[in-house]
Amino acid sequence: MALLPIICYPDPRLHKVAKSVKTFDDRLKKIVADMAHTMYEAPGVGLAATQVDIHERIIVIDTSDSREELKVFINPEIIWQSDEHKIWREGCLSVPDYFDEVDRPNKVRVRAFNENGEVFELEAEGLLSVCIQHEMDHLIGKVFVDYLSPLKRMRIKGKMKKREKLYSN
């Protein structure tokens, strides 16, 4: 398994819209394995392919304490969401060391394929629901900071650019 480089905000590649996966093959299974390895090493609870410069509709998530309950979502779609919302403090592997509150539906039902091309549905609430929505946003070119005020986004962008200069020297 390879450790994939994670793209950091405000890189414009984070705003690319991902394409649907058409072929469920060994290449896809390798991408999923590499993404899972990258997510666990980061460490994070979710990772979208967009974040590692693969612009296909692939998400890996593991919100378990044991880190042994990997969920793979290929071509996910939310088919239902609750009217009840909850505010969660979110972070993102593409926006290191920054957390802020985002208002999202508390429950969602998602339909997706696994890496073998088998369709499934999953109802999620709490952290798993937030994680699914957060990672699905990446697939449409949206980063969680896009939910924040323009002033906060500008400050985060400035901090991320300073961070990039610091780590590139």
Binding-site positions:
92, 134, 138
Active site residue 135: yes
Task: Round to the nearest angstrom and report the end-to-end CA distance of the chain.
Answer: 28
3-state SS class at 39: helix
Question: 6 — alpha (psi -120 to 50), left (phi > 0) or beta?
Answer: beta
Q: Among 123, 80, 130, 124, which residue's Cα sits nearest to residue 101?
A: 130
Alpha carbon 36 to chain centroid distance?
Answer: 12
3-state SS class at 56: strand
Q: Among 60, 54, 59, 74, which residue's Cα sits nearest to residue 13?
A: 54
Q: Of 56, 101, 135, 164, which one is the catalytic site residue?
A: 135
Q: Among 89, 82, 68, 84, which residue's Cα sits nearest to residue 134?
A: 89
Please give the helix or strand (H or E) that residue 47 lies within, else none.
strand 46-48
Instruction: Specify binding-site residues for Fe cation.
Output: 92, 134, 138
Q: Which residues are catalytic?
A: 135
